[in-house]
Amino acid sequence: MRQRRWLEFLKDYDFSLEYHPGKANVVADALSRIPIGDAETIRCHMTHEYGLLEAAARLSQSDIANDTDVLICAQVRLQTVSTQRVSEDQKADILYPRFSELAQSSECTDWAETTDQCLRFRGRLWIPAVAELRDEILQDSHRSRFTVHPGRTKMYHDMKRHFWWPGMKADISEYIRNCGICQQVKAEHRRPEGLLQPLPIPQWKWEDIAMDFVRGLPRTVHRHDSIWVIVDRLTKSAHFIPVAAHYTFDQLSVLFEREIIRLHGVPLTITSDRDAMYTSRMWRSMQEQYGTRLQFSTAFHPQTDGQTERLIQTLEDMLRACVLEFGGSWEEYLPLCEFAYNNSYQASIEMAPFEALYGRSCRSPSCWAEPKTEIC
């Protein structure tokens, strides 16, 4: 009946129907899906918002400059979780008496209580069963600018160096499964058919490297629209160098000497695709003078340098996540993406690239859970 009533109403008008996709008609879609609550709920929300607006109006710039409470709140906002808060939540947990007794026992070496009054299991901070606390730690370990949405395995191995609680691995998997950014940017992977024929394992760090370009990115204020990805095949450590598609051989050779040779020395081999720059006479001549042997992948077979191709996919996922999460240009997040990649766990070497390169992982804001004093 409703459709018939509309047909009766519209037949008196001369018009033509045009299809408007639902994705483009976001205004009408949003208006048709506004949640309508009861009057009491709406009144509570409006009262709370008006109270916040009145409090903000009373707070002047001089109050912010002189009020230490405001400064303390700003500092707490940067690091929402602290060992003091964890210690308080531990003491309120039902398992605290049992774990505390184990920590004080001379026969048990797994548990210990440090001078910050926190219980640690095998040197890792025990996180009690407080949903809000665990969610904040998971969020800091996954959505921080220093981690950039790692996968399930990477995030678990990064977190288990500092934290422990029963079922932590399952909680990490569930958290990543519900992360909207990861669902948008992460690609699916399946095991390839046939036997692998990998390149020989290098004998030393940064002696055998691979490189490739990521092209077609939005141009930044520095006129960069590409990324030069250079990775060590042994330690998996990598450098992400912003470049432009119009860069000449001279500009790229200067970058290679400044970013690679200066830090790691001259490589023995370079594995790459058949890009015009890599196959140019000048690039070949320069590498011949260095004593570096060039290894080119087979045409239309990127699996030859699968390590770099996979790394580029990871980098693109990280950059997409950064832009969606924080906004802005991809270039401003490139250094942090390089740090996050090199400081996160790699399944192929069972450690972080920094750990393989320097003997230990580098410090990041997530290291606040590490004990700073001797065990008491």
pTM above 0.75, yes or no: no
Residue 70 pLDDT: 47
Cβ–Cβ < 8 Å for 242, 224: yes
Kindly give the parts of the chain with pLDDT less than 70: 1, 22-80, 187-197, 299-305, 366-376
Q: What is the pLDDT of residue 256?
A: 92
One-letter amino acid of 300 = F
* Whole-number pLDDT of residue 307: 80
pLDDT of residue 260: 92
The answer to whether 164 touches 121, Cβ cutoff 8 Å, is: yes
- Of all helices (H) and strands (E), which one includes residue 231? strand 226-232
Q: How far apart are the first and last CA of the chain?
A: 79
Q: Are 310 and 186 in contact (CB under 8 A)?
A: no
CB–CB of 118/87 below 8 Å?
yes
Residue 75's pLDDT is what? 40
Q: Name, in order, each residue with C-beta under 8 angstroms of 270's C-beta and a sequence gap of 6 or more.
A: 209, 210, 211, 278, 287, 292, 293, 294, 295
pLDDT number for residue 375: 44
Q: Can you read off the two tokens belonging to residue 110?
A: 């797994």
Instruction: Read off the DSSP letter of residue 107.
Output: S
User: Burial letters for 294-322: b for 16+ Cβ neighbours within 10 Å, e otherwise?
Assistant: eeebeeeeeebbbbbbebbebbbbbbbbb
The pLDDT score that the predictor gives to residue 232 is 92
Percentage of the chain lying above the pLDDT 70 cut: 76
